[in-house]
């Protein structure tokens, strides 16, 4: 069972609508026991970092998520759900979950901020196995839907398997062991996004064997 | 490279899609669920859903129609109409909206923009403004479905809304709405080049060249249209192919 973590913000229905299309059962939940029992966690997208962290802390979900990820539970972070994995965000200067080393920075003002729209993902650093599974039937430089003012700068650049350019290059897909995260919204990226979501779910279950 | 966006718009009243001319004389344009599905399949970059009579009728948006429509779409879905509080926005996001547009509610209470932006991030707050030309190079903001002239200049309000935390502006020319005589290029260029957030131009799309004009000369980040798509003049794909041929970055 997949648990989509409800922390008071986020486009929760969009994620479950996308998973429903794939006939993948998922529950939206803020219950600690449901999150502990789930095989896979999704931390969804829309929201501000400060409010997101505060809501997680208020309900104690920050500790649960950290504990479960460290134990090896499969985890998909989307947009803000990716950014919260890192140590600190410039958005409200808040401390985040700190599961990955690095910071979350704001786009420079030379371009319109937020970045809103479809941008290309360049596949990089990906070992053949990852490429075949994660990007199965998704060609290099495919378009996905972004809505972000901030972006992640992982210390370990080898985590980056997808990169996008908006004035500067930034990490748009990262993988580390049981963690996958995307800066764009696969649940809002048309048929290709649904395909990627399916690939991610498949990738996760293959890994558990 | 970030592409320009083509956005079909569903103007809703009583659960049906309608389309008027200059905000009056509404004609039935069909079922929102059917149209949403069609535009999604044709390659629309986003879908906008506006309950255009919610404010005037002093009621909340029709949540069940939002939910049903959201289930059909795999692309971003903006919803607006009658939003007066951050709680209204939370409910819409729960119902499948990805972004929420606020118009009259924000003008009457600009704090609504910052409340929503603080809670959900400014990227999900769209400031929708209806504008009418009131003199040479002069445009005013109109509220209550375009019925009341606020006397405030479009640029002044756009800038203030961005300071309050609006992440995007949906800019509609009431004069051009439904007329198919082309977008208001001057208005859009002035607003888009003076604010730091993306601007969606709306009102007046009639010919393929209108889309090129508004995205290049008008400096719009996205172009929204309703009549030409609802009544079958163009498919989304036809517009996007034409833009691509004209060297505009677009997702095909």
Q: Counting one residue from A and one from B, how many pairs have CB atoms under 8 Å apart?
A: 120
Identify residues of A whose CB sits under 8 angstroms from chain B CBs.
9-14, 17-18, 20-21, 46-48, 51, 80, 109, 112-120, 143, 145-149, 165-166, 185, 187-191, 193-194
Over range A178-192, report the average pLDDT: 96
| pLDDT at residue B60, rounded to an integer | 80
| pLDDT at residue A206, rounded to an integer | 57
Rounded to a whole number, what is the distance in angstroms from the first to the last CA of chain B?
13
Q: Distance between CA atoms of A172 and A146, rounded to whole angstroms?
A: 9
Residue ranges of B 191-250 with Cβ closer than 8 A to chain A:
196-198, 221-222
Structural domain spans, chain B = 5-245
Q: What class is the B5-245 domain?
A: alpha beta
Quick check: helix, strand or coil at residue A145?
Answer: strand
Q: How far apart are the CA of A92 and the nearest CA of chain B, in angstroms?
A: 10
Tokens representing A184 are 């764009």
Q: Distance between CA atoms of A1 and A41, rounded to whole angstroms?
A: 9
B85: CB partners within 8 A, 6+ apart: B105, B112, B115
Nearest CA to A18 out of A146, A202, A198 is that of: A198
Between chains, do A117 and B5 touch, taking CB under 8 Å as contact?
A: yes
| pLDDT at residue A209, rounded to an integer | 39
Over range A31-59, report the average pLDDT: 92
Residue B77 at interface with chain A, using a CB cutoff of 8 Å: yes
Whether A126 and A171 have beta carbons less than 8 Å apart is answered as no
Best mutation site among A112, A122, A146, A150 for testing chain B: the one with the most B CBs within 10 Å?
A112
| pLDDT at residue A31, rounded to an integer | 95
Q: For residue B67, how far is the Cα from the chain centroid?
A: 19
Over range A39-49, report the average pLDDT: 87
Structural domain spans, chain A = 2-208
Q: How far apart are the CA of A15 and the nearest CA of chain B, in angstroms?
A: 9
Best mutation site among A45, A106, A190 for testing chain B: the one with the most B CBs within 10 Å?
A190
Q: Distance between CA atoms of A209 and B146, rounded to whole angstroms?
A: 60
Return the higher-pLDDT residue of B87 and A8: B87
Structure-token match 């008071």, residue found: A8
How open is the CA angle A117-A122-A123, to the nearest 5 degrees? 135
Between chains, do B120 and A190 touch, taking CB under 8 Å as contact?
A: no
Q: What is the DSSP letter of B62?
A: -
Q: In this prediction, what percent of chain B has a pLDDT beyond 70?
A: 100
Cα dihedral A3, A7, A10, A15, rounded to 10, equals 10
A39 has pLDDT over 60: yes
Q: Distance between CA atoms of B79 and B63, rounded to whole angstroms?
A: 10
Over range A164-181, report the average pLDDT: 96
A207 has pLDDT over 60: no
A162 has pLDDT over 60: yes
| CATH architecture under which domain A2-208 falls | 3-Layer(aba) Sandwich (3.40)
In this structure, chain B runs to a length of: 252
| pLDDT at residue B121, rounded to an integer | 84
Rounded to a whole number, what is the distance in angstroms from the first to the last CA of chain A?
16
A116 has pLDDT over 70: yes
**Residue pLDDT, tens place only, B67-123:** 999 998 999 999 999 999 999 998 998 899 999 999 999 999 999 999 999 888 888
Over range A89-96, report the average pLDDT: 93
A45 has pLDDT over 80: no
- Strands A2-5 and A26-29 turn out to be parallel
- Average pLDDT, 10 consecutive residues per value, chain B (252 residues): 97 91 91 96 97 85 91 95 91 91 97 92 93 96 96 98 97 96 98 97 98 98 96 96 98 94
For A92, which residue in chain B has the nearest alpha carbon? B118
| DSSP code per residue over B131-158 | EEEEETTEEEEEETTTTEEEEEEHHHHH
């Amino acid at each position: 069972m997949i648990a989509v973590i409800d922390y008071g913000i986020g486009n929760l229905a969009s994620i479950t609508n996308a998973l429903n299309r794939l006939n993948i059962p998922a529950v939206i939940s803020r219950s600690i026991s449901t999150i502990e029992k789930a095989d896979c966690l999704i931390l969804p997208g829309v929201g501000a970092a400060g409010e997101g962290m505060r809501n997680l802390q208020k309900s104690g979900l920050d500790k649960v998520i950290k504990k479960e990820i460290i134990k090896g539970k499969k985890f998909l972070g989307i947009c803000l759900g990716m950014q919260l994995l890192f140590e600190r965000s410039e958005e409200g200067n808040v401390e985040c979950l700190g599961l990955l080393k690095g910071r979350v920075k704001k786009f420079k003002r030379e371009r319109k901020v937020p970045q809103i729209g479809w941008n290309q993902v360049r596949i990089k650093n990906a070992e053949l196995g990852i490429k075949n599974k994660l990007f199965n039937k998704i060609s290099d430089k495919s378009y996905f839907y972004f809505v972000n003012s901030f972006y992640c700068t992982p210390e370990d650049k080898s985590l980056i398997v997808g990169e996008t350019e908006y004035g500067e290059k930034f990490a748009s897909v990262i993988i580390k062991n049981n963690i996958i995260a995307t800066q764009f919204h696969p649940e809002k990226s048309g048929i290709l996004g649904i395909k990627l979501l399916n690939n991610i779910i498949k990738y996760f279950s293959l890994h558990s064997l | 490279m970030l592409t320009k966006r083509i956005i079909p718009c569903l103007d809703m009243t009583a659960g049906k899609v309608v389309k008027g001319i200059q905000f009056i004389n509404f004609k039935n344009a069909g079922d929102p669920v059917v149209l949403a599905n069609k535009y999604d399949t044709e390659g629309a970059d986003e879908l906008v859903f506006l309950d255009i009579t919610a404010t005037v009728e002093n009621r909340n948006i029709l949540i069940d129609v939002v939910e049903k429509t959201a289930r059909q779409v795999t692309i971003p879905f903006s919803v607006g109409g009658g939003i007066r509080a951050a709680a209204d926005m939370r409910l819409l996001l729960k119902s499948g909206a990805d972004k929420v547009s606020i118009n009259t509610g924000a003008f009457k209470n600009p704090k609504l923009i910052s409340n929503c932006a603080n809670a959900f991030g400014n990227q999900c707050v769209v400031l929708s403004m209806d504008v009418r030309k009131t003199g040479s190079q002069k445009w005013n903001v109109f509220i209550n479905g375009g019925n009341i002239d606020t006397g405030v200049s479009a640029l002044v309000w756009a800038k203030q809304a961005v300071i309050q935390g609006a992440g995007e502006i949906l800019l509609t020319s009431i004069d051009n709405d439904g007329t198919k005589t082309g977008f208001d290029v001057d208005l859009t260029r002035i607003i888009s080049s003076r604010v730091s957030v993306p601007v969606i131009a709306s009102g007046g799309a009639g010919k393929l060249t209108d889309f090129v004009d508004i995205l290049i000369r008008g400096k719009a980040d996205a172009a929204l249209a309703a009549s030409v798509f609802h009544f079958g003049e163009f498919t989304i794909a036809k517009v996007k192919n034409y833009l691509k041929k004209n060297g505009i970055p677009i997702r095909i």
